Structure 1
Amino acid sequence: MLTFIIYLIGTLAYSTRIVGIRTGRIAVSFAVFNVFVLIQRTANTIQAPLLAKTIENGINTGNSGNLLYIFRWIIFSITLATIAGAVLMPTFIKVFDKLVTSFSAYRSLPKLMIHAFSKSGIEQFRNSISIPKRENLSELRNFRKTPKKVILLNVIAFSISSVSVLSSLYAGCLSPNLRTTCSTLASVVNSVSTIFMVIFIDPYLSMMTDDVIKGECTELEFNRCIIFIVAGLIVGSILAQFILVSASNLIVIIAKLI
């Protein structure tokens, strides 16, 4: 459940980029985006000790064989979360639109959060509920004008980040005498996906945002790119199922070498 919530938040955060284009409040929208990313990454730090405890119990009881089965269910919850986030994006685009507008009035994130959970805030959320439009889904067929390299890198980066903690912990299960070293390598693995995001994906989306503002790119093309980015998250989470064991074995090899 915690994993589902973490990755649902991460997927919905992309809605704020579309809102930034629609409202013209780019900086405020990115500030809201950073808040949601911060929540996701903070929740990830809570997740790791809980999983480490599961590893310890599995090793102590000699029942470590079931851990791979548990980890595959965790990755499956990531896939469900990204799919749910994709379905909920139209709703949260409307919600974030109102949040960005309200932020300009309140000029304080704590006050904005209080308003979000107030009676009027809940009513606004209820009125914002909507489902994905068929024409938006049809954009997935138009693959010619999409940045294929960026989408591929996004798939790879998300698959790596999905297994970073899990593979390092499972590596500790495969080699119990090196499990401390293996667990510390989680941050190294996760930094690889972070580098992909910071160097290739985020700058590209930022440049597309500037192009839309300057009129060199249409809002439809930007939305199409976001749709493919979110679809890439789903594909990346599925790919994570296939690289979990290989990544764990690789971490064991690295732990032995260092």
Structure 2
Amino acid sequence: MDYFTGKLIFIILFIFIIHSIETLAYAVRLSGARVKMIASALSLFNIMVIVSRLANMMQQPFTGSLIDTAPKENALEFVEVQFRMLIGASTAGTLFGILLLPTFTALFSRAIIHLSAEKGSVPSLMKRLLSPQYIRRGLNHFSFPRVQYLKGVKFKEFPIRLFFINMLITAIYTIGVLSALYAALLAPERAATAVMASGLINGIATILLVIFIDPKISVIADDVVNRRGSYIQLKSMSIMMIASRLCGTILAQFLFLWGAKYIAWFTRFIV
């Protein structure tokens, strides 16, 4: 059975880019702390988050259409294979973001300085950054991670509980829509209820992220700017969060079916 279609490849690329962007968002705080401009860095961070969320919303109807176009025979198996490919794309996108982390940390540092020079005008900043001159300059800063990048990072000081919390939140966020769509196949008589549950799941994951993860990194970034903490500590925390995120996308493969069955079961109490 041919599981690959042009539509599936399009969605895979979309998810790959989304998770790459979300991974590289961690580089913004590192860049802001490096140039001592946290507020400007957060404005760029918010732009990246908005772009990522918008892209995620755009791909959801296409992902949903995989359910509608699935063959009647062995529909569960067919859709499961396709959805696991999409989860794999999130892992690949995260890995790609990790490979580009040192490069984007350097580029974001310059982007933050340019944002200040442009008086906070994002369109002017984009016009400057997309000019051939700056594109060539950016390519000169391209480099893959090296062992030296981990110099000074203290793995023993990683807060293990925070690592696993972020991993679980990432896994939930990764499978939220996919598990809800698959639950619609498991409980076709409650399909609409199951699909709409995806918004609740992703909303809860986002709230948990804002409550437990973002404040920790923000406080460390502020300490670096105010000279109460070290840049190495912030880099260590960022690397831990990225590693946790990668593990979360892998964990999503194991939670996918369980999440779908749980949603299908839970909808019985709503309808």
Distance 1:194 1:128 in 2: 33
Deviation of 1:149 after TM superposition, in Å, equals: 1.9
Distance 1:179 1:230 in 2: 34
Q: Which amino acid aligns with 2:105?
A: I
Contact preservation (8 Å) 2:102, 2:143:
yes
Structure 1 consecutive aligned stretches of length 4 or more whose deviation exceeds 2 Å: 59-65, 135-140, 213-216
Contact preservation (8 Å) 2:152, 2:232:
no
Distance 2:207 2:152 in 1: 28
SS at match of 2:31: helix
Deviation of 1:255 after TM superposition, in Å, equals: 0.9
Deviation of 1:210 after TM superposition, in Å, equals: 1.9
Matches within 5 A, 1:81-100: 81-100=93-112
C-alpha spacing 1:138/1:71, structure 2 compared with 1 (3 Å): farther
From 110, 114, 119, the equivalent of 2:132 is 119
Q: Which amino acid aligns with 2:141?
A: S
Q: Using the aligned pairs only, state the percent identity.
A: 32
Distance 1:62 1:81 in 2: 29
Matches within 5 A, 1:160-239: 160-239=172-251
From 107, 129, 141, the equivalent of 2:142 is 129
Alignment pair present for 1:68 and 2:80: yes
For structure 1, which segment, 187-196 or 206-215, has the greater mean C-alpha deviation from structure 2 after superposition? 206-215
**TM-score under structure 2 length normalisation:** 0.91
Deviation of 1:34 after TM superposition, in Å, equals: 0.6
Q: Which amino acid aligns with 2:211?
A: I
CA deviations 1:50-96 (Å, max 9, x no partner) are 11111111266763421000011100111111111011001111111
Q: Could you tell me which runs of 5 or more consecutive residues in structure 2 were left unpaired when the two chains were aligned.
A: 1-12
Deviation of 1:176 after TM superposition, in Å, equals: 1.5
Distance 1:62 1:46 in 2: 28
Q: Which amino acid aligns with 2:124?
A: K
Distance 1:96 1:114 in 2: 15
Give aligned pairs, total: 257
CA RMSD of aligned residues (A): 1.5
Q: Which residue of 1 aligns with 2:6?
A: none
Contact preservation (8 Å) 2:181, 2:195:
yes
CA deviations 1:185-239 (Å, max 9, x no partner) are 0011112211221101001111111222232321101101100100111100000
SS at match of 1:185: helix
Q: Could you tell me which runs of 5 or more consecutive residues in structure 1 were left unpaired when the two chains were aligned.
A: none
From 163, 171, 175, the equivalent of 1:151 is 163
**TM-score under structure 1 length normalisation:** 0.95
From 16, 24, 33, the equivalent of 2:28 is 16
Distance 2:152 2:70 in 1: 46
